[in-house]
Structure formats: C-alpha cells, structure tokens
C-alpha cells in the first residue's frame, strides 16, 4: 500500500507500523498535554493520564482515537518498568530494618483492608474470586500519590520515613498478592490445597531466583558500572528486567513479579540509585502509557451506573486506612500525630490496584465494572489525600482535645516506654526473649488459621465421615465436626494467649525495667493486645473467604472492642500511679527550689526512674517564654510534641497534678513533662520559643 507525498511521490506504507507509531504518538501527546494541565492544577499527573485515556479511548465521541489493543500491549512495558523501579528502591537490609515498626502497621493495614474489601464485594453479590480482587485493589496505597503529596506539602522527616516504610512493606505484599491472584485467576481457585500449592510454588520461585541471582547479578552490575558506560548499563539492566518478567510469565505469574525481582537484585549491587536515574525517563514514558491504557478501558456510562459503589468504596478506603493505620501506629508506639497523619497520607489507591484489576480482567474472573470502580476510587482519593493531609493538624488537635485525660496521659507514657524498649542494649536478655516469643506467637496464629481454613473447606467431607463411621444423623454429624475442631483450636488459642503474654512480659522488662512492677504489668497488657491485633488482623483476613465475611468481620470487630475496653479498664487503675509519680517529682522540685529568680528559661534537670521512664523533664518558665500567659490547650502542647504535662508548680507555690489544660501559665512556673526523648525536646521548644522542631 502506498500514499502520495508532495507532487506525486509515492512512499511505501505499512498499515501495522503506521498504526503503531500513530497510536504511540497520539497517546504520548494527549497524555502529556492533559498531564501538564493536571500538574498546573496541583494534582497528580496520573489523573491527567487517566483522563487522556478517556479522550483517546473508544467510549467518548471525540474524533481522536487510538487502538486499545495496541495501547494495552505497550502498557505492559509500563507495568514492567514501574515494578522494576519499585524493586530498585528496596534492599533486603532496608526491608528488614522497617519491619519492627512500619512492618506491623503495613501487615495489619493490608490484611484488614483486604478483608473489608472482600466483605464489601460479597455484599455486592460478587463471586469469591471477584471479591478477592476488589479487596486486593483497595488495600494498597499509591506510592506516586503519596510522594507527590509529600513534595507539595511540608512533612516531618519521621513521618515521611514511617509512611515510606509502610509503602515498602505494602509493595512486597502487593507483589505477593499479584502472584497469588495470577494463579487464582488462571484457575487455581480458593481451595486450601490449591492455595498451599500456589504459595509453595511462589516461595520456591522467590527463594530460587533471589538465591541464584544474588550470586551473579550484583557483582556483574558493579563491574559494568565500573566501565563508565551508561548505555551499556541501561541496556544490561533493561534486558534483565524484561528477561525475568518474561520468565515469570512463562511459569504462570504476573510480569510484575519478575520485574520486581530484577530490580531487587540490581539494588543489592549498591548501584540502585544510579540505575534508577538511567531508566527513570524510559519508565515515565511507558508508565504514562499504562495509565492512559487504564483510562481507555473505562466506560464512563458504566462508571456512572456504579458511582454509588465507588463512593462507598472511597469512604471505605479513607476511613478504613485512617482507623487501621492510626490504631496500629498508636499501639506500635508512633504517637498520635504520626499515626493519624500516616493514616491520612495512605488513604488512597493507585497503580497496584490497576495492575491487579488488569490481571483479573484479562482472566475474565472479575465483573466489567471493577475497573471503572477502581479508577473512580483512585481519582477521588487522589483529590482527597492532599486535602486530608492539609487538615491533619486540625484532626489531631480535635482528637487530642476530645480524648479522655486518662487515655491522653497513658498514650504519652506508652510511647516513651516503647522508645526505651527499642533503644535497649543488644546484650539485654529480654531482647532475645522478645524475638523468640514473637516468632512463637506468629506460628500459633498460622497454625490456628490453618486448622480453621482446613475445617471450613472440608466441612462437608468431615460431616460425611462422621455419618459413616460414627453412624450419626440429623445435626449430630455437624456437632461432632465442630466439637472436633474446637478440641484442636482451643489448645492452640490458649498457647497463642500464653506466648503473647510472654512477649508482653519480655517487652515490659525492656520498657520499664525491673523496678516498677505496676508499669511492667500495664506495658505487658498493652503489648499483648498489640501483638494479638497484629496476628489477628491477618488471621481474620485469611479466614474471610473460607468462613464468610459476615462472620469473620463482626467477630474480629467484637474482639477488638473487647480488647480496647480491657485496655481502658487497666489504664484506669494506673491513674493513681501517674498522680503519685507526678507528686514525687513536684516534691523534688520544691526541695531544689527552682524559681524564676534563680535560673534561666532553659534550666531543666532530669529525674530518673519515675513512672518507669528513663527521664522526666522539668522546665522553668521566665518572662520571655512563649508559654507565659497561655494555657496548655491554647499551646496544643500534646498534639504538637507528643509529650504531656503531668504536673505544674506555680510561682506562688500552688501545685497541680495532672492538669486539665485550662490553667494559665505564668512566669516562674515549673512544668513537669513526661514522654519520649524526642517528644520532650519538641515540648521544650514549644514552651520556650513557640516553634515546632518536627518529628
């Protein structure tokens, strides 16, 4: 086929090649233009790419059209390159380092949101597999959106590190989900034997690839870097990326898994940042095509028909992330401000949701409305996340002001106790016991889950055996199976409680030392509830497909409420200890005679061993101090610093233990503060200078 150019010149034309080039140019041009508009409006460029997909897609009557199949083929390159760069940002040592803090939060968040999404899908009447894909799409936050929000808004280094640590663990869990869901979509099903076979195969692939790759790839990459030839390096790593992606697809997994492993292996060379700098432009180009492809697959009419479902899912994501991440963050000792801000920052979905939805759509196991629903949720949450982050301080202040005094003071001390536990010397024997009991608790949770899943899946078969062997009829065969299951479950559950109690006791010795038994008991209760929640969230999420979300979700919520009520009751018994400790400190202050005429505004000293803490800070106020003439409520001291004022000695000699926050501070007052070391330093800066040091 030929077409004329100029005055009768004929140039050969290939319909296929011309169509590919035209689609490539059209997608990038429209995507760039609308993406720039989104950036100018201070929105993530992803939103512009999704809208560009609608413009060039087949559903809008606009005379600009790209072939969806060709664009989809190109978009797979974007998936591969995006996942490759995700792997580049993850080194094994960094992953292990974030597990004690961000890991627990990420695990609880992913599993809880997965269960909530699965239950939501079942309420909609979707199949088990389709509901599982919906839950998977709603449980992973968007690294791109979060990074953009942090770039546009001022955030503390500690908050960024915590949120990015959660995202790192989320990415690893998302890769695992992608691999498992790929096998499920290919016909693996949700039977216990099939899932175990799928997970076993996945572990073999992961361990084998990493073990062999670690012997070859990092060393080879370093040698190529030493050649100082960037083009050779980028060709090598890109070839490795697509090679492992193709290998993963060949053994039945998503190309995302192979690309991620390639990035992980290259990162272990220590040259990950150099490689990322080289491949970033190529990744950005094809990532844009990927998001345009997602936009092309969305039928606006179908999205409008299911906009109510998308709105419910949006609320589920925002509120669920805030509650789960906030609660997990507080219980893991991150403080109210960081925990709430983290929950707000993670309240969206993004690129992984589209990747997982594409897997289900390609296999034909998800309804056609899943993709439009996820796109709508992604668009809405991309808008709400920056707004929520701008209002994070106001939300924290509101929570802090409406929180009961008992809980406010207790959370302050609890944060300080866990900080002391984390900084305990490695030689402390309690550290080894913490690790041992934590592993034992996790194994108990896994065993408990396995028994319940096995009984749920094989329930009819077990009833048939009971009828045949024991000649039971009516409902007695069912009761016999339930009784047998209970005989297996109860000892495991009791051992789980015992190991979690041992974990709490070891952590309490690290946090409170050996001298304060009441503090030890309280920390032990907190730690036991924390580990039970961390183990229980994944357990109930895994059980949801087998025992039904209508059973697992209400049961888990009821147990959570009971656990928190128990904590509340135990916290009440500790109020007397708080007052007693504060009165002891006030007595020391009175004996030392610290007053405005005998010290400077920065004069303070440390008191050891009060309330189970290493340090309790006391600060004297001079006339020039920022806090003079203001109340603690006006200063927002607790919300801004994470430390609490447990006692005040006024200049006239009047003493106030556990102040209400409405007391007006004056020159010569001495404030006794409790909290973590960082929180005490922040509180001191607020009181004396009126400035925030950040987390």
Distance CA(683)–CA(663), nearest Å, equals 17
Which of 195-204, 468-477, 606-615 has the weakest average pLDDT? 606-615
Query: Is the predicted pLDDT of residue 589 greater than 70, yes or no?
Result: no
Q: Is this structure's pTM higher than 0.75?
A: no
Q: pLDDT tens across 472-524, in order?
A: 666 777 777 778 877 888 888 888 888 877 877 777 777 666 556 666 776 77
Which of 192-196, 354-358, 517-521 has the weakest average pLDDT? 192-196
Highest mean predicted confidence (pLDDT) among 1-10, 130-139, 322-331: 130-139
pLDDT class for 597, splitting at 50, 70, 90? very low
> Can you give the pLDDT at residue 516?
60
Q: pLDDT tens across 485-498, in order?
A: 778 888 888 888 88
Q: pLDDT tens across 253-264, in order?
A: 778 788 888 988
Distance CA(302)–CA(69), nearest Å, equals 20
Query: Is the predicted pLDDT of residue 180 greater than 60, yes or no?
Result: yes
Query: Is the predicted pLDDT of residue 198 greater than 70, yes or no?
Result: no
Query: Is the predicted pLDDT of residue 619 greater than 80, yes or no?
Result: yes
Mean pLDDT computed over 587-609: 45
Highest mean predicted confidence (pLDDT) among 51-60, 234-243, 334-343: 234-243
Query: Is the predicted pLDDT of residue 545 greater than 60, yes or no?
Result: no
Q: What is the 3-state secondary structure (H, E, C) of 366-388?
A: CCCCHHHHHHHHHHHHHHHHHHH
Alpha carbon of residue 374 to chain centroid = 19
Phi, psi of 424, rounded to the nearest 5 degrees: -65, 145
pLDDT class for 248, splitting at 50, 70, 90? confident
Place of tokens 């503060």: 673
Mean pLDDT computed over 604-621: 58
Q: pLDDT tens across 622-659, in order?
A: 888 888 888 877 777 776 776 778 778 787 777 777 67
Distance CA(420)–CA(410), nearest Å, equals 15
Please give the share of the chain, as a percent, with pLDDT higher than 70.
78
Query: Is the predicted pLDDT of residue 315 greater than 90, yes or no?
Result: yes
User: What would the two tokens of residue 145 be?
Assistant: 């959106």
Mean pLDDT computed over 145-172: 77
* pLDDT, greater one: 457 or 22: 22
pLDDT class for 312, splitting at 50, 70, 90? very high
Query: Is the predicted pLDDT of residue 541 greater than 70, yes or no?
Result: no
* pLDDT, greater one: 188 or 151: 151
User: What would the two tokens of residue 120 be?
Assistant: 């939501």
Query: Is the predicted pLDDT of residue 122 greater than 70, yes or no?
Result: yes
Query: Is the predicted pLDDT of residue 679 greater than 90, yes or no?
Result: no
* pLDDT, greater one: 175 or 570: 175
Query: Is the predicted pLDDT of residue 177 greater than 90, yes or no?
Result: no
Mean pLDDT computed over 82-99: 76
> Can you give the pLDDT at residue 615?
60
Mean pLDDT computed over 425-445: 79
Query: Is the predicted pLDDT of residue 605 greater than 50, yes or no?
Result: no
pLDDT class for 14, splitting at 50, 70, 90? very low
Q: What is the 3-state secondary structure (H, E, C) of 508-572?
A: HHHHHCCCCHHHHHHHHHHHHHHHHHHHHHHHHHHHHHHHCHHHHHHHHHHHHHHHHHHHHHHHH
Which of 185-194, 529-538, 657-666 has the weakest average pLDDT? 185-194
Distance CA(637)–CA(376), nearest Å, equals 39
Query: Is the predicted pLDDT of residue 15 greater than 50, yes or no?
Result: no
> Can you give the pLDDT at residue 383?
82
Which of 107-116, 126-135, 672-681 has the weakest average pLDDT? 672-681
> Can you give the pLDDT at residue 163?
85
CB crowding 172-205: b at 16 or more within 10 Å, else e: bbbbbbbbbbbbbbeebeeebeebeebeebbeeb
pLDDT class for 159, splitting at 50, 70, 90? confident
pLDDT class for 311, splitting at 50, 70, 90? very high
Distance CA(102)–CA(82), nearest Å, equals 23
What average pLDDT does the chain have?
A: 77
Contacts of 166 (CB under 8 A, 6+ apart): 102, 105, 106, 109, 141, 325, 342, 346
User: What would the two tokens of residue 139 be?
Assistant: 């449980």
């Amino acid at each position: 086929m030929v077409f004329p150019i100029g005055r009768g010149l004929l140039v050969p034309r290939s319909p296929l090649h011309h169509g590919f080039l035209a689609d490539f140019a059209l997608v990038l041009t429209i995507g760039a233009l609308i993406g720039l508009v989104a950036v100018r409006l201070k929105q993530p460029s992803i939103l512009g790419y999704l809208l560009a997909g609608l413009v060039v897609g087949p559903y809008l009557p606009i005379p600009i059209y790209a072939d969806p199949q060709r664009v989809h083929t190109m978009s797979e390159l974007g998936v591969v390159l995006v996942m490759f760069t995700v792997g580049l940002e993850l080194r094994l040592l960094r992953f292990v380092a974030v597990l004690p803090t961000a890991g627990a939060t990420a695990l609880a968040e992913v599993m809880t949101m997965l269960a909530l999404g699965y239950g939501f899908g079942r309420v909609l009447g979707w199949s088990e597999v389709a509901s599982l894909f919906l839950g998977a799409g709603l449980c992973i936050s968007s690294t791109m959106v979060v990074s953009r929000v942090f770039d546009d808004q001022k955030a503390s280094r500690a908050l960024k590190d915590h949120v990015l640590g959660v995202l790192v663990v989320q990415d690893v869990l998302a890769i695992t989900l992608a691999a498992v869901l790929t096998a499920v979509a290919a016909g693996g099903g949700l039977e216990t034997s099939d899932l175990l076979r799928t997970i076993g195969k996945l572990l073999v692939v992961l361990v084998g690839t990493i073990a062999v790759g670690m012997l070859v790839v990092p060393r080879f990459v370093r040698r190529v870097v030493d050649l100082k030839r960037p083009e050779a390096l980028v060709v090598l790593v890109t070839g490795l990326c697509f090679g492992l992606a193709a290998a993963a697809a060949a053994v039945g997994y998503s190309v995302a898994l192979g690309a991620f492993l390639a990035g992980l292996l290259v990162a272990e060379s220590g040259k990950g940042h150099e490689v990322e700098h080289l491949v970033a432009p190529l990744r950005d180009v094809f990532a844009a095509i990927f998001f345009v492809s997602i936009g092309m697959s969305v039928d606006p009419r179908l999205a409008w028909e299911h906009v109510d479902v998308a709105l419910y899912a949006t609320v589920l994501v925002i509120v669920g992330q805030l509650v789960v991440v906030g609660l997990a963050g507080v219980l893991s000792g991150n403080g109210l401000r960081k925990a709430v801000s983290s929950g707000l920052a993670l309240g969206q979905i993004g690129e992984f949701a589209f990747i997982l939805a594409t897997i289900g759509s390609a296999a034909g196991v998800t309804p056609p409305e899943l993709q439009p629903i996820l796109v709508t949720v992604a668009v809405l949450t991309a808008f709400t996340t920056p707004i929520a982050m701008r209002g994070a301080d106001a939300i924290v202040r509101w929570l802090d002001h409406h929180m009961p005094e008992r809980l406010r003071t207790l959370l302050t001390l609890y944060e300080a106790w866990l900080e002391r536990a984390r900084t305990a010397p490695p030689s402390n024997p309690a550290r080894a016991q913490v690790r041992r009991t934590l592993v034992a608790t996790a194994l108990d949770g896994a065993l408990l889950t396995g028994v319940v899943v096995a009984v749920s899946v094989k329930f009819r078969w077990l009833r048939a055996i009971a009828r045949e062997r024991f000649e039971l009829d009516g409902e007695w065969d069912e009761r016999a199976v339930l009784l047998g299951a209970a005989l297996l479950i109860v000892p495991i559950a009791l051992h789980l409680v015992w190991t979690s109690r041992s974990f709490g006791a070891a952590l309490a010795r690290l946090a409170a030392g050996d001298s304060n038994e009441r503090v030890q008991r309280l920390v032990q209760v907190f730690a036991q509830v924390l580990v039970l929640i961390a183990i229980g969230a994944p357990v109930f999420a895994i059980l949801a497909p087998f025992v039904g979300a209508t059973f697992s979700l209400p049961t888990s919520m009821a147990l959570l409420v009971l656990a928190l009520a128990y904590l509340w009751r135990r916290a009440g018994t500790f109020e007397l200890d708080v007052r007693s400790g504060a009165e002891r400190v006030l007595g020391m202050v009175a004996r030392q005679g610290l007053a405005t005429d005998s010290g400077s505004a920065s004069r303070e000293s440390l008191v050891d061993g009060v309330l189970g803490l290493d340090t309790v800070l006391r600060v004297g106020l001079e006339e020039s101090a920022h806090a003079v003439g203001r109340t603690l409520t006006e200063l927002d001291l607790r919300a801004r610093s994470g430390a609490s004022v447990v006692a005040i000695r006024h200049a006239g000699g009047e003493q106030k233990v556990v102040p209400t926050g409405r007391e007006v501070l004056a020159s010569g007052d001495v404030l006794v503060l409790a909290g973590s070391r960082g929180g005490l330093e922040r509180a001191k800066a607020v009181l004396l200078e009126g400035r925030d040091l950040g987390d």
